[in-house]
Amino acid sequence: MTAQTETPGSVTAVYKVSGMSCGHCEGSVGGEISGIAGVTSVKAVASTGEVTVVSAAPLAEADVRAAVDEAGFELVGPA
C-alpha cells in the first residue's frame, strides 16, 4: 500500500473489491494494482472493500479486474 498523492492531471478512481479481510489482503490487492502502467498510488481498505487508485490517465477496468483477480479477490465494480 502506498500513500495517496494527488497531482495535477491525475485521475482518482474508487473500486469495490470483495473478499478483503485484513492488512495482508490490502497489500496483495494494492501490490497487484500498483503494477498497472500509469498507477501512482493505491490505497486498499479491507473494512470497506474500497480501493482508491490514482493514475496518470483513466485505467481500463479490464486491467484493474485482472490485477484484482491475480491477487485472489473479485472486483465488484466502481464504488
CATH number for domain 11-78, candidates 3.30.70.100, 3.30.465.10, 3.20.20.450, 3.30.70.20: 3.30.70.100
- List b or e across 23-32, with b for residues whose CB sees 16 or more CB atoms inside 10 angstroms: eebbbbbbbb
pLDDT digit of tens for each residue in the chain (79 aa)? 344 445 667 999 999 999 999 999 999 999 999 999 999 999 999 999 999 999 999 999 999 999 999 999 999 988 8
What pLDDT score was predicted for residue 2? 40
Domains in the chain: boundaries: 11-78
